[in-house]
Structure 1
Amino acid sequence: MSCTTGSSVNREERHKSIGVPMRCWCGRKEDFLVSKTNENPYRRFYPCQGALQRQTELHLFKWVEVAMAEEFEAQKVEIGKAFSELQRMGGDCSALEDRVCQLENDAKLRKAEECSNKRKAVVGVSRHLGVAVCVAGGLALVYKAVCG
């Protein structure tokens, strides 16, 4: 028997199943059974219970090993997608970390520049104050010399 059976393309598409089947296209739940035929002794398969009762091949039939192989292949694809997403997120995190470090360095640089500017301002005020004290002292000496 084949994995999917049907007499027309439309019906075949309707009950085609990838991986472990949960339900047939007719809505019946799938449970596996063990074959008792001479061709496939003790081989496990998923049949539609409705198909077994009516002796028709229009419902889902799949060997367990075929279903498991398809399921593993589908999971492999999903795991690959998840790893790709994790790699993308890791790149985003690295870029964000670089940006945060850059902003921290910019903030430290601005703070250092502010301190430097304040220091320059204090030095400038100190010079002016020193000049003012010298001028005042010189005027005091001149006043004392003139006035007595």
Structure 2
Amino acid sequence: MSCTTGSSVNRGERQKSIGVPERCWCGRKVYLLVSKTNENPYRRFYRCQGALQRQTESHLFKWVEVAMAEELEEQKVEIGKAFAELERMGGDCIALGRCLKSQFGSLEARVCQLENDAKLREAEECSNKRKAVFGAYRHLGVAVFVAGGLALVYKAFCG
């Protein structure tokens, strides 16, 4: 048996199939069979349905271990791509974290500024209230002083 490989393409054009084949280049289903030859006893292989019916060598034939080795290599490539994508995403996450940290720093500074502004307004309001109260007490003190003075003047004149 020869070891030719192919896959389904348009109108009989043959291309090499990589990994575990699902269809022959002719479009027919591929079967998993066991060799009964003296050279390869009990060795498993893939064979096209058309080759089984017509007993022709031009259809797909592939040993299972060759297909598995190719499949493994393909998976290594895909895993490599996945790891590269994970590394890229990790870098994006780090950059996003830095950006968020910067924004949180800015927001925290703004909150502190607003808190300080609120404390200043509260202190000003308290100071204004204190001034108003002290102003009222001052007026009351002046009124008491004037009333006391008038009382002394009245007592001095009236007796």
TM value normalised by structure 1: 0.75
Output aligned runs, 1:23-62, within 5 Å.
Answer: 23-62=23-62
Task: Provide the residue aligned with 2:99 in structure 1.
Answer: 99
Task: Provide the residue aligned with 1:120 in structure 2.
Answer: 120
Count of matched residue positions in the alignment of Structure 1 and Structure 2: 143
Which runs of 5 or more structure 2 residues have no equivalent in the other structure? 7-11, 151-159
SS in 2 for 1:59: coil
CA distance in 1, matches of 2:42, 2:79: 32
Q: State the Cα distance separating 1:67 from its structure 2 match.
A: 0.4
1:33, 1:46 within 8 Å by CA — same for their partners in 2?
yes
CA distance in 1, matches of 2:106, 2:131: 37
Deviates more, 1:68-77 or 1:103-112: 103-112
SS in 2 for 1:95: helix
State the Cα RMSD in Å: 2.8
Deviations 1:20-64 (A, max 9, x none): 000111121111111122222221111112113222222111111
Deviates more, 1:72-81 or 1:13-22: 13-22
Q: Provide runs of 4+ in structure 1 moved above 3 Å.
A: 121-148
Deviates more, 1:35-44 or 1:73-82: 35-44
Task: Provide the residue aligned with 2:5 in structure 1.
Answer: 4
The structure with the larger Rg is: 2
CA distance in 1, matches of 2:5, 2:145: 122
| 122 and 49 in structure 1: CA distance in 2 versus 1, 3 angstrom threshold | closer
Task: Provide the residue aligned with 1:65 in structure 2.
Answer: 65
TM value normalised by structure 2: 0.70
SS in 2 for 1:51: helix
Deviations 1:49-82 (A, max 9, x none): 2113222222111111000000011011111111
Aligned AA for 1:117? D
Which runs of 5 or more structure 1 residues have no equivalent in the other structure? 6-10
SS in 2 for 1:66: helix
Higher relative contact order (CA 8 A, sep 6+): 1
Task: Provide the residue aligned with 1:90 in structure 2.
Answer: 90
SS in 1 for 2:31: coil
